[in-house]
C-alpha cells in the first residue's frame, strides 16, 4: 500500500472535524522535520568534505561546482524548515492562557528588544503609549510572538528606511494597538489576500505570519484590521477587550 493510500485511510471522514485534519497534518509536518534536519546536517558535512579536496585546479573547479549545489540544497532545506515551523505555529494556535497584564509594559519590553533591528534597517521607531491604558488579559508568549511578527513585516517593507509608529489608546470597551509604517503600501489585490494562509509577496515567505497573528489576536477575543494603499504606507489596528473587572493603572495607584 502506498503512502497516499495510507494517508487517505487516516483522513477524517465528512463527519470528521477540522481539528482532526489539522492534527493529522501537524503530525505529518513533525514527521517531515526529522529527515529534513538529517538532510541538512549531511549536506553540511558533505560541504566540509568537498572543501578539503586537493589544491590542483581541476579538483578545485569540481569542488566549487559541488559546493554551489550543496549550498543550494542547504538553502532549500532552510526554507522548508522555516515553512514547517511557521505552519506548526499556525496550526497549534488554538488555546491560550491569558492573564492580567500591563500592555504598555509588554510592548515597551518588546520594542526595546526590537530596536536594534529597526536601527540597522534605518527605520525610526516611534512610541506613543497611553499611560492611562486599561488593563487587559493576554497570553504573554503568544501575544509577543504575534506583535513581533507584525513588527518584522513592517520593518522589512521599508527597504529604504522610514518610520514605524507604535501607538496604544483606549477604544470602546477595550484597547487599541496601532502599528503605522511609511512603507510602500499594498495594492487592493494584495490587501484582500494578506490573511490567506500561504499567500506571500516576499521571496521565500511562508505566507503564514499574518494568518498566525490574526489567530492569536482572535484567540484573545480581539480583532485585527489593515489599511493600506500604494505609496501611503500601512496601518495595522489591533483591538483587545478590556474586562470591566480589571482596574486601570491609575485606579490601582489611588487604592
Phi and psi torsions of 162, nearest 5°: 160, -150
Residue ranges of the chain whose pLDDT lies below 70? 1-31, 33, 51-59, 79, 81-95, 198-207, 245-255
Are 49 and 164 members of one domain? no
Predicted local distance difference test score (pLDDT) of residue 119: 93
Predicted local distance difference test score (pLDDT) of residue 189: 86
d(CA 30, CA 89) in angstroms, rounded, equals: 12
Are 83 and 169 members of one domain? no
The count of domains in the chain is 2
Residue 55: left (phi > 0), alpha (psi -120 to 50), or beta? alpha
Are 59 and 150 members of one domain? no
Residue with cell 484573545: 220
Are 192 and 219 members of one domain? yes
Phi and psi torsions of 74, nearest 5°: -65, -40
Predicted local distance difference test score (pLDDT) of residue 39: 77
pLDDT tens, position by position, 72-83:
777 777 767 666
Are 225 and 161 members of one domain? yes
Are 40 and 158 members of one domain? no
Are 55 and 145 members of one domain? no
Are 126 and 237 members of one domain? yes
**Which of 67, 91, 115 is the last residue before a domain boundary?**
91
Are 103 and 194 members of one domain? yes
Could you tell me the pTM of the whole model?
0.64
Predicted local distance difference test score (pLDDT) of residue 9: 43
Are 51 and 109 members of one domain? no
pLDDT tens, position by position, 141-176:
888 888 988 998 899 889 888 999 999 999 888 999
**Which of 38, 70, 91 is the last residue before a domain boundary?**
91
Are 39 and 118 members of one domain? no
CATH of the domain at 198: 3.30.565.10
| DSSP secondary structure string for all residues of 80-143 | HHHHHHHHHHHHTTT----EEE-HHHHHHHHHHHHHHHHHHTTEEEEEEE-TTPPPEEE-HHHH
d(CA 112, CA 14) in angstroms, rounded, equals: 49
Are 7 and 78 members of one domain? yes
Predicted local distance difference test score (pLDDT) of residue 181: 93
Look up the domain containing 62 and give its range: 3-91
**Which of 74, 91, 108 is the last residue before a domain boundary?**
91
Amino acid at each position: 500500500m502506498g503512502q497516499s493510500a495510507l494517508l487517505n485511510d487516516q483522513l477524517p471522514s465528512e463527519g470528521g472535524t477540522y481539528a482532526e485534519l489539522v492534527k493529522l497534518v501537524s503530525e505529518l509536518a513533525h514527521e517531515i522535520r526529522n529527515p529534513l534536519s538529517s538532510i541538512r546536517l549531511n549536506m553540511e558535512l558533505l560541504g566540509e568534505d568537498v572543501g578539503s579536496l586537493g589544491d590542483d585546479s581541476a579538483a578545485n573547479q569540481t569542488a566549487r561546482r559541488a559546493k554551489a549545489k550543496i549550498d543550494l540544497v542547504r538553502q532549500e532545506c532552510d526554507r522548508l524548515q522555516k515553512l514547517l515551523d511557521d505552519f506548526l505555529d499556525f496550526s497549534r494556535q488554538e488555546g491560550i492562557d491569558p492573564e492580567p497584564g500591563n500592555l504598555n509594559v509588554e510592548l515597551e519590553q518588546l520594542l526595546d528588544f526590537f530596536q536594534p533591528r529597526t536601527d540597522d534597517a534605518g527605520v525610526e521607531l516611534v512610541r506613543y503609549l497611553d499611560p492611562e491604558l486599561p488593563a487587559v488579559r493576554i497570553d504573554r508568549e503568544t501575544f509577543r510572538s504575534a506583535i513581533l511578527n507584525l513588527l518584522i513585516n513592517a520593518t522589512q517593507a521599508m527597504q529604504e528606511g522610514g518610520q514605524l509608529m507604535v501607538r496604544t489608546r483606549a477604544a470602546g470597551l477595550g484597547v487599541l494597538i496601532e502599528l503605522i509604517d511609511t512603507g510602500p503600501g499594498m495594492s487592493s489585490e494584495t490587501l484582500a489576500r494578506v490573511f490567506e494562509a500561504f499567500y506571500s509577496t516576499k521571496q521565500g515567505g511562508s505566507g503564514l505570519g499574518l494568518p498566525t497573528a490574526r489567530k492569536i489576536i482572535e484567540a484573545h477575543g480581539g480583532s485585527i484590521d489593515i489599511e493600506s494603499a500604494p505609496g501611503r504606507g500601512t496601518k495595522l489596528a489591533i483591538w483587545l477587550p478590556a474586562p470591566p473587572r480589571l482596574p486601570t493603572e491609575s485606579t490601582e495607584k489611588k487604592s
